[in-house]
Chains A and B, each alone.
Chain A
């Protein structure tokens, strides 16, 4: 059986600690080509005879993308490879050029919604998974020098930031932090709100 061409253009798409391996399809007229993916961490290279480990969710698949997030679970350099199969015919392995280390994942600012609930300044943060913490900065508009910070380690539905005075706007921005790779995203857009209270009430 003639050898199939190896998959080409193998690359990684990695955003916010979610990692996907992609490649160009191998085209064989009238045939369904299936692909299988394997990975090799630094441990395997240095201590386990350069062994490769199959990803069973990406064995004999027809898609040209594989979610490798669960297997890239250490901050070391990984090798990745893909091969193609059509029936008994098989290709050589196509290997990712260079290593992949999750430290290079791109981190995007968190989606955020700032809420004025009466005099309470609240923020809703996107749940990005257990690897993510958030640094939230908030300040009275015009008083940037007196910016306050709150670190949110676990995403709850709503985070209470402060009790506002009536009148001024309060502004908020946030960034993510991933301890496993010791990196932060850039800050989100700033959002400002004002206390929703009516006239000030004095109880006699």
Chain B
């Protein structure tokens, strides 16, 4: 079992501080990166670690770097979320290296769908939308 500690409270408070600002920058309301076509809540518990690991890699490798804004306060909060994600990403990688966070076909397909949703938009819009959906990820992680 992959057990990692993370400061969910800090990430949530960082995100709450900029959520309205970020979501206001996302004009495309009819699409979702994380929840189309299926909600994260449909992911089986055995696949949770794999999806979490993939999503943290996704946010660190692809999303945060394209979210720079003209607002220094927003940039600072994005930095604190990104650095927290990087810290968690490392712990998840350790689990993966210890074969505690393996990926079967289903979660791999699910993550491919998320990537397809992401790559279906131009990079800045996709990154801002993904950042705006962070609470979907955080809720899913905390709920189960």
Tell me, yes or no, whether B35 is within 8 Å of chain A by CB: no
Tell me, yes or no, whether B79 is within 8 Å of chain A by CB: yes
Taking a contact as CB atoms under 8 Å apart, the answer to whether B87 and A54 are in contact is no
Q: How many chain A residues have a CB neighbour from B under 8 Å?
A: 24
- The interface bits of chain A over 121-140 (1 if a CB of B lies within 8 angstroms of the residue's CB, else 0) are 00000000011000000000
A55 to B83, CA, bound (A): 16
Taking a contact as CB atoms under 8 Å apart, the answer to whether B80 and A73 are in contact is yes
Taking a contact as CB atoms under 8 Å apart, the answer to whether B60 and A43 are in contact is yes
Tell me, yes or no, whether A180 is within 8 Å of chain B by CB: yes
Taking a contact as CB atoms under 8 Å apart, the answer to whether A71 and B87 are in contact is no
Which of A53, A55, A73, A75 has the most B CB atoms < 10 Å from its CB?
A: A73
A53 to B82, CA, bound (A): 13
Taking a contact as CB atoms under 8 Å apart, the answer to whether B79 and A44 are in contact is yes
A44 to B80, CA, bound (A): 10
Q: Range of interface residues on chain B?
A: 20 to 34
Tell me if A's interface is mostly helix, strand, loop or mixed.
loop
Contact A56 to B83, CB < 8 A, known contacts A179-B7, A180-B7: no
Which residues does A use to contact B, with CB under 8 Å? 39, 41-44, 46-48, 53-56, 70-71, 73-76, 78, 130-131, 179-180, 182
Tell me, yes or no, whether B9 is within 8 Å of chain A by CB: yes
- The interface bits of chain B over 82-107 (1 if a CB of A lies within 8 angstroms of the residue's CB, else 0) are 11111100000000000000000000
Taking a contact as CB atoms under 8 Å apart, the answer to whether A180 and B64 are in contact is no
B141 to chain A, nearest CB (A): 16
Question: Which of B50-76 touch A at CB < 8 Å?
Answer: 60-61, 64-65, 72-73, 75-76
Taking a contact as CB atoms under 8 Å apart, the answer to whether B82 and A182 are in contact is no
A182 to B76, CA, bound (A): 24
Taking a contact as CB atoms under 8 Å apart, the answer to whether B82 and A41 are in contact is yes
27 contacts between A and B (CB under 8 A): A39-B79, A41-B80, A41-B82, A41-B86, A44-B82, A47-B64, A47-B82, A48-B65, A53-B79, A54-B72, A56-B72, A70-B80, A71-B76, A71-B80, A73-B7, A73-B14, A73-B80, A73-B84, A74-B10, A74-B80, A74-B86, A74-B87, A76-B83, A78-B83, A131-B10, A179-B7, A182-B5
Q: Which residues of B contact A180 (CB under 8 A)?
A: 7, 10
Q: Which residues of A contact B61 (CB under 8 A)?
A: 47
Taking a contact as CB atoms under 8 Å apart, the answer to whether B79 and A55 are in contact is no
Known: A47-B61, A47-B64, A73-B83. 13 other contacts (CB 8 A): A41-B79, A41-B80, A41-B82, A43-B83, A44-B82, A56-B73, A74-B7, A74-B80, A75-B84, A78-B83, A131-B7, A180-B7, A182-B5
